[in-house]
Amino acid sequence: MNELKKIAYNCRKATFLIEKKQIGTITLREKLELKIHLAGCSICKTFQKQSIIINSMVKNLFNSSDNSVLKLDEQFKKTLHERIEKYFKNN
Amino acid sequence: MPSDNNETLAIENTINPHLWVIKYADYLYNYAITRVNDEEQARDLIQDTFLAALNSMNKFEGKCSERTWLTSILKNKVIDVYRKNSVAFIKNKVIDQEEEEHDYFNHEYGNWNIEYRPKEFGIEQSDALENKEFQHILKLCMKKLPSLWLAVFTMKHMDDETTEKICKELKVSSSNFWVVIHRAKVNLRACLQKNWIQT
């Protein structure tokens, strides 16, 4: 198999480079390889699009407006509060 | 007499542990649970954070808000958990994960195996970021990641830590870091596809 064909087939490598490119740096050669691969591979193009979306969603996960949806139950909060008060009694 | 402005600032950055639970417990819990994905552990972390904070109250200089200060204590505790998990992970699980990963790509050529080929989610162009249902599935899928992968993934993508710091804290080599980043994403994406398209 020649070099070009190898690049065209290797989605594992292409997706690896997609990840690395987003948060780090890839070499010029790698950039070229990725470009060649994506030109012929719509599946990895979809992967790339989704990967970018996932990254920004993860970034927003904690900061999104509904980040307080999960609540500690009142009983546990009461215990926590008592422990804090106890600290002041003992110190 | 101090101006109103100064007074407000002073009040904001004082410390009052009697109000911690009411003001910050839920916030800190959400911070923890999105990072450790284990309710029991998240609760322990909140408790440890408050106790550690009580013991180092005198170190609070009022340069940041009480909430930021408490969050930074919690953050370090989360990293401790990651570190513990990663040691256990490196000992036990690396081999299993190697096995699993072969399913996504053809072993010889590296092309996608048919059943794992990415398909459109149908929300790529729209307001995916605001889609609550999708966010919910994303959280569930993150929960399924092996602990070291989740640690690497959240430190990078949620907390924007440098690669050097993550490798150092979790004792992961730089090449393993990239392998984990890649595998975590391939797994997470596959999980989203499976659970989103089917719902």
The predicted complex's ipTM stands at 0.85
Read off the pLDDT of residues B81-128 as tens digits, 9 standing for 90 and up. Answer: 988 877 766 655 554 555 555 589 998 999 999 999 999 887 765 566
CA B80, B83, B89 angle in degrees (round to 5)? 145
Interchain proximity A58–B157, CB inside 8 Å:
yes
CB B91 within 8 A of CB B102: no
Answer yes or no: do B192 and A50 touch at CB < 8 A: yes
Q: Which residues contact B24 (CB under 8 A, 6 or more apart)?
A: B66, B67, B70
Write down the pLDDT at residue B33.
87
Task: Give the pLDDT confidence score for residue B1 in this predicted structure.
Answer: 43
Beta strands in chain B (DSSP E): none
Average of per-residue pLDDT across B29-51: 91
As a whole number of angstroms, the distance between CA A33 and CA A35 comes to 5
What does the alpha-carbon distance between residue A50 and residue B54 come to, in Å, rounded to a whole number?
A: 44
Q: How confident is the model at residue B7 (pLDDT cuts 50, 70, 90)?
A: very low
Mean pLDDT of B156-177: 92
**B83–chain A nearest CA distance, Å:** 21
pLDDT tens-digit series, residues A31-50: 999 999 999 999 999 999 99
Residues of A in contact with B26 (CB under 8 A): 68, 70-72
| Backbone angle region of A30, left / alpha / beta, with phi > 0 → left and psi within -120 to 50 → alpha | alpha
Asked if residue B6 has pLDDT above 70, the reply is: no
If contacts are CB pairs under 8 Å, which of residues 30-89 in chain B contact chain A?
A: 30-31, 33-34, 43, 46-47, 50-51, 54
Cβ-based contacts of B107 with chain A (< 8 Å): none
DSSP state of B57: G
Q: Do domains B4-81 and B93-198 have the same CATH topology?
A: no
Q: Give B4-81's CATH code, choosing from 3.30.160.100, 1.10.3720.10, 1.25.40.90, 1.10.1740.10.
A: 1.10.1740.10
Give the pLDDT confidence score for residue B86 in this predicted structure. 73
**If we measure between CA atoms, which residue out of B186, B171, B197 comes closest to residue B100?**
B186
Cα distance between residue B8 and residue A1, in whole Å: 71
The pLDDT assigned to B2 comes to 44
Whether the CA torsion B118, A58, B187, A33 is positive or negative: it is: positive
A63-72, B34-43, B86-95, B142-151: least confident range = B86-95
Which residue in B18, B31, B185 is closest to A62 by CB distance?
B31
Q: Is the pLDDT of residue A13 over 60?
A: yes
Classify domain B93-198 at the CATH class level: mainly alpha
pLDDT (tens digit, 9 = 90+) per residue, B115-146?
999 998 877 655 666 677 888 889 889 988 88
